[in-house]
Structure 1
């Protein structure tokens, strides 16, 4: 594939996540205890999945950590590619989760009217180009010091700042670019899995199903417990903390008459935390990762 494919994926998906953060985020009431619940739920999801993969499946510590991340597959892929030897089982495990989410999104959004993919240029598009250029330059600087997934981090941070400063512009990344980045991500996943054997397929499928089930089980427990503490709807907390597609969860929340903005804010917070994982990984494992530009 083209040498800068992963850079393109990181920029597009990083900016798209950053633009999801509402410019008037302070106007949305997110109880501090709910934020505590989100973070502790994520920690429990990662811990339970990590222990299973490391202790039961005998995965390495790094592979177990990457395999247990609740979502943000592009960030996981970038971290995995930054390892000296990328792990196919990490990608396969996340692919199982991704397939489940795609099926869920298809079921939830089956009644929605399809929208034509358009790529037009206007004032907003030029602002987005400026955001992308700044993110690309800053990402190159982070790449030189060995930060994994640098363009995803700078894309997200730059988009958050631009969205807050240019709230009247209503910045939104064209869906055709998100579609292209997602398709490229799928192609990269296919390349990484092309040499997998039938036996490995069965083993990693089992691992992916178990890890997904463990994450969902942890989410159910935390949603139930914090629904009692917060006197909040169990379904709202479940949809706020379940590892899943922001778009699919938002559509489901609207259909069910729940609190879509509160649910979206929880998922955006989760995605921001997960997309900052490259910085944490560089701090925790300073010699583990290396630049990925020449790998793909």
Structure 2
């Protein structure tokens, strides 16, 4: 993955966001873990464990990790996120875009660590009984190609995996795909119908178990703004994608990394930078999840 330029060159973003109105939206979102999760650094895509006791996120520049692009975790104590620390899963390579499975047994992420099939590959690590993580396991050739695979997101029942890739063809640059679980691995990735374009589509999460989808789009993720969109399933495809209703989800900003909180499925964690509250370059925010008003049929059996 090569979005370092977009995520590090944020001086222009800060200036733009100062001009964006936040009034009227404050009841819809709040910053997550001020000073612990959201800090002066760039924090991207957070996931809360199904029991609500831990939160894991990625950071591109937070000091103390193993490789720069690292996974971090904090624990819920006395009603607040506390004790942030890098995960032992981190290597000198990139580890990024974490997502817990709905049953709490796995932590998914992507990495360009040695031994992969291409650039960024998809992995998962078992969540052990003591709260630590077992060795990372590649998700295999069924979903890892010669290019980059990003942001793995398992369905609630674990039967499907939503992710972004530029390895399997598609409409343009990075596209969204869904793979199915065959009992041993995720295989047979198919393009997500209705959302892929000549731009980059990535960082997606299902709403209402697939009746809607929220995802990030950028004309060129290496240099252009990133915006979140929501599309409803019309029974066959996701149609009429529209920008997520959020004050800082503008045409010139950087908003990405949506993830449903399994512990509070009516709430969505996203990454961006508001005028206030604001901690740093990119922060983690919590908002009410958009309503899934679409139909079933957009996720193949």
Task: Normalising by structure 2, report the TM-score.
Answer: 0.26
Structure with greater proportional strand content:
2
**Greater CA radius of gyration, 1 or 2?**
1
The structure with the largest helix share of the pair is: 1
Q: Structure with the greater relative contact order (CA < 8 A, sep ≥ 6): 1 or 2? A: 1
